[in-house]
Amino acid sequence: MSVTLVPSMNKLQLIAKSTKSHPASQPHIPMPLPLPTYRPAGLRLFYGFDIHEEWLIRFADQHMANCFGYDPIKYDASSKMNIARRILINITGINNLTLASGQVDETAIANGTVLEEPECSFVPLLAVCSSRRKSYDSRPSRAQFERLQELIGRPAKWWIECDD
């Protein structure tokens, strides 16, 4: 499967020209985000994006040398995904950005983000918050979230935690 990066990633500016324009420099007022009414017992909900692992790896390959001075050849796929997350934190100011796993649904099937493992199937997620109070209360500002959504190239939604 070929994963293309959204056009905004190709002309990504990693250092803001002015601190006034960087989402992290704005006053932190959490974005409006209603909790879903359906909450499965014992499972968290994650608000974020289903993401191709290949997208994260390519993102890290393109930006890790400029951001951290890392040589992409020296890192495995798992490390690159975490480095991509750290780069996205630096760009957006979303400090609680996490990698998570969600249950398979129609959106993930349509986006081709389902991962099939011998034990289970799941959806890799890039989450900005969860339904747990501390995480939910630390959700990003609207400007921070919109910057991330622009980079990802599609809307976010609530995902049910993968329980396998």
> Would you say residue 27 lies in a domain?
no
The H or E element spanning position 68 is helix 53-68
> Would you say residue 8 lies in a domain?
no
Decide if pLDDT at 15 tops 60. no
pLDDT of amino acid 18: 44
> Would you say residue 156 lies in a domain?
yes
> Would you say residue 113 lies in a domain?
yes
List pLDDT tens digits, range 57-111: 999 999 988 777 778 788 999 999 999 999 999 999 999 999 999 999 999 999 9
Q: Is the dihedral of CA 50, 131, 120, 94 positive or negative?
A: positive
How sure is the predictor about 12, in pLDDT bands with cuts at 50, 70 and 90? low
Answer yes or no: pTM beyond 0.85. no
Cβ atoms of 56 and 85 closer than 8 Å: yes
> Would you say residue 6 lies in a domain?
no
Q: Quick one: average pLDDT of 111-135?
A: 94
List pLDDT tens digits, range 129-164: 999 999 999 999 999 999 999 999 999 999 999 986
> Would you say residue 25 lies in a domain?
no
Domain that holds residue 149: 43-160
pLDDT of amino acid 19: 47
> Would you say residue 12 lies in a domain?
no
- Token couple for 62: 């393109």
> Would you say residue 132 lies in a domain?
yes
Number of domains in the chain: 1
Q: Where are the beta strands (DSSP E) in 19-79?
A: 45-50
